[in-house]
């Protein structure tokens, strides 16, 4: 009988995973933990054969603590189940000693297979991640196509997406898709960072630095109002930090507030009314949907967007009824999606 320890900071998620694994023969879930503080005590007392873990728990440093667990219990298999597919993050955890990396949005039968493969001594990476890692390995930041160089020139000149579409003869949507792929290839998250990349690597990518590109950097950083206020409500400190960094890079003048629960969010919002609030559906023992209802009721002007690692139609229905304007899958909350949301609010 194989023994499995389940680590995730949301009890409802742990329950769902435990239920999905109940059909695997000769496997028993011997314990559950919800943070880094209790993880190592549980490992020592329970000595599981497999650790199934979401590494964005409170009081947990993913790379360092995974490496420590692997060093302390080298025979134990480690399967990460996460909402995040960032390639640098994935490769760092694989290097730290995990035996598998699985995305939360994949079918439950695939999770069952992942656990079985990892326990059998195999390496598991779910298929969407395999495809992404292979593509990234084949792509070099310096091997740009003629179209990508043309887009970078347009960005240097300070053209917006409509201006680029007119210049290139493409649709605005096609331009957006091209830019998203270009940003990913360069490892940047905004046009501001892309122009900065050209400044730093002009010779390597075969582009010169023009005076207009310097002006576009200045225009981009001044484009957004200094009183734009955004509220992030999530009980996971690491995820809040990730969102804050993404938003801060694109909107350096924005005031970004953070809260872990409803009352803290309401207090912050009353002191600095936000134009946009991003609220996780699960806030520890609280409901993000209730938080959305409270925020919307207290200030009708705030636009509330709910997000979840486990999108559910009923969550979506309840969230919209509570006053949210949108419901997003956490895996889709990237720099491009945030930029679209914020530009829509500002515009």
Which pLDDT tens digit goes with each residue over 148-199? 888 888 887 778 888 898 888 888 888 888 888 888 777 666 676 677 667 6
- In the chain, ranges of CATH 3.40.50.2300 domains: 2-136, 229-346
Q: Supply 230's token pair.
A: 């955004």
Residue 28 — pLDDT band, cuts 50, 70, 90?
very high
Comparing CA positions, the residue from 102, 118, 124, 120 lying closest to residue 53 is 102
Interval 63-90 mean pLDDT = 85
> Under 8 Å CB-to-CB from 4, ≥6 apart: which residues?
21, 27, 28, 29, 30, 48, 49, 50, 51, 52, 115
Whole-number pLDDT of residue 143: 67
pLDDT at 139 over 60: no
- Tell me the C-alpha distance between 157 and 134, whole Å: 33
Q: What is the CATH number of domain 140-222?
A: 1.10.10.10
Residue 221 — pLDDT band, cuts 50, 70, 90?
very low
Least confident of 54-68, 181-195, 203-217, 218-232: 203-217
Residue 49 — pLDDT band, cuts 50, 70, 90?
very high
Least confident of 189-198, 208-217, 328-337: 208-217
Whole-number pLDDT of residue 243: 84
Neighbours of 283 (CB within 10 A): 23
Interval 118-133 mean pLDDT = 84
Whole-number pLDDT of residue 311: 65
What value does the mean pLDDT of the chain take? 81
pTM over 0.75: no
Whole-number pLDDT of residue 218: 44
- Tell me the C-alpha distance between 219 and 66, whole Å: 43
Q: Supply 201's token pair.
A: 């690597």
Least confident of 23-37, 137-151, 301-315: 137-151
Least confident of 40-44, 117-121, 185-189, 245-249: 185-189
As a whole-number percent, the residues of the chain with pLDDT over 70 amount to 82
Whole-number pLDDT of residue 108: 81
pLDDT at 225 over 70: no
Whole-number pLDDT of residue 47: 96
Q: What is the CATH number of domain 229-346?
A: 3.40.50.2300
- In the chain, ranges of CATH 1.10.10.10 domains: 140-222
Least confident of 24-38, 57-71, 222-236, 255-269: 222-236
2-136: which CATH topology? Rossmann fold (3.40.50)
pLDDT at 226 over 50: no
Packed helices 146-156 and 161-168: angle between N→C axes, nearest 10 degrees:
130
């Amino acid at each position: 009988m194989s023994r499995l320890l389940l680590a995730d900071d949301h009890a409802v998620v742990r329950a769902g995973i435990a239920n999905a694994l109940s059909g695997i023969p000769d496997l028993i879930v011997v314990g559950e933990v919800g943070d880094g503080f209790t993880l190592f005590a549980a490992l020592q007392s329970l000595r599981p054969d497999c650790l199934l873990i979401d590494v964005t728990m409170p009081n947990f440093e993913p790379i360092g603590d995974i490496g420590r667990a692997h060093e302390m219990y080298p025979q134990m298999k480690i399967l990460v189940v996460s909402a995040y597919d960032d390639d640098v993050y994935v490769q760092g955890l694989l290097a730290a000693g995990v035996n598998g990396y699985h995305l939360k949005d994949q079918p439950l039968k695939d999770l069952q297979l992942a656990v079985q493969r990892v326990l059998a001594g195999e390496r598991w990476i779910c298929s969407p991640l395999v495809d992404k890692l292979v593509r990234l390995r084949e792509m070099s930041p310096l091997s740009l196509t003629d179209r990508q160089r043309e887009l970078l020139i347009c960005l240097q000149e300070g053209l917006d997406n409509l201006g680029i579409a007119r210049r290139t003869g493409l649709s605005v949507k096609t331009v957006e898709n091209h830019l998203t792929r270009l940003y990913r290839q360069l490892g940047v998250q905004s046009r501001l960072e892309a122009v900065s990349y050209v400044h730093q690597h002009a010779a390597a990518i075969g582009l010169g630095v023009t005076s207009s590109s310097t002006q576009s950097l200045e225009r981009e950083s001044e484009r957004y109002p200094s009183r734009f206020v955004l509220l992030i409500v999530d009980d996971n400190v690491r995820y809040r930090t990730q969102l804050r960094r993404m938003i801060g890079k694109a909107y350096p003048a924005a005031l970004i507030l953070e809260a872990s629960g409803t009352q803290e969010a309401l207090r912050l919002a009353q002191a600095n009314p936000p134009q946009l609030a991003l609220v996780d559906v699960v806030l520890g023992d609280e409901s993000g949907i209730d938080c959305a209802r409270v925020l919307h009721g207290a200030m009708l002007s705030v636009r509330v967007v709910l997000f979840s690692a486990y999108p559910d139609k009923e969550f979506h229905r309840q969230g919209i009824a509570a006053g949210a304007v949108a419901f997003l899958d956490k895996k889709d909350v990237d720099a491009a999606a945030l930029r679209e949301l914020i530009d829509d609010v500002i515009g």
